[in-house]
Chain A
Amino acid sequence: MFKKWMGVLCALSLLLSGCHSARQIETASVIENVSVHRENGQTVYTFYLLSDSPRSDAVAVPAASFEEAARLAEQAYIPHLTLAKLELLLIARDVSRETLWRDIEYIAEQAHISPVAKLALCDTKTLLRLRQVSASQERIVSQIDRLEQDNGQLMTDYLSVFNAYARKETFLVPLITCEGDLKAATMVLG
């Protein structure tokens, strides 16, 4: 009798598990990278989807904040959007003062976004390059890693940037520029 009950419970656990709302990896829209820049006086968030194409698969969403952009993107542009694999947030230098803290604050409250994902400031040419060549992201990440090895004081992820902001200190972040090739430097924020 006991074994029968255990069998029933095991069957129930398989049948009633969370798989009913599961999403296949092919149908999920995994976001690898998000960039923020200003276009015609409006802040635009661009979501770069994980894909094997040489050209970036990107969706640009005009929005006032990361939170609004993620919501609008899911509602109107990318129905199965997931930010769990977000690896890089690139912020154009000219919008960093108004968006950085607000967006990092939002990210810090999200359970599914990794706190050790990379963050960097950049110029407009870098964003243009990123849109044209999907491999640019890997180059940017490797540049950030190299810069981090050379400079121990550099804040390269959401966690360290958020904590530096919370301490009300000035801090160094990576700055990616595109002058023929992608280059990395540092910039003081705070």
Chain B
Amino acid sequence: MKKIQGRGTLEAVDGRLDIVVNINGADKALRVAPGEYLLDALRREGYKGVKRGCDNGDCGTCTILLDGKPALSCMMFAAQAHRRRVVTIEGLGTPDRPHPIQRAFVETGAVQCGFCIPGMVLAAKALLDENPEPDETAIRRALDGNLCRCTGYVKQVEAVMLAAKKLKAAGRRA
């Protein structure tokens, strides 16, 4: 029997843990293995927008928001998300109702292959939540953990600038 300390004590039954994670605003009961990574659990549950680029915490494509802060889902156990709030890219907006940050990435031409974009959009969201009017340095610092090989980052930095403007014009928080 394995015990994981955190928000309450979890006990593994038959090598499985029953956890509850708030994913994109709704509580979801998940049965996971104690050693299962959050990335694997999320993808298994259908959140395919969370990408696997390195499985080593180096590339940022698996970025989610954990209680509002960017986190690497390949570097934490699913059980560590028990009773916490997870936002994946699917929770931010949909093609029918995209979030202004997602629109800004599209409008500036910041999306090429798009594999890094979900993680980068979420990193941008966390930045704009804290700092609604970031300068280029702040943006570059915030996106520093999200590798992209296609774009040279030029238009992605522009996208975050544009998103900040859009949000301000709409008078809303990210």
A, B bound: no
Residues of B within 8 A of A (CB): none
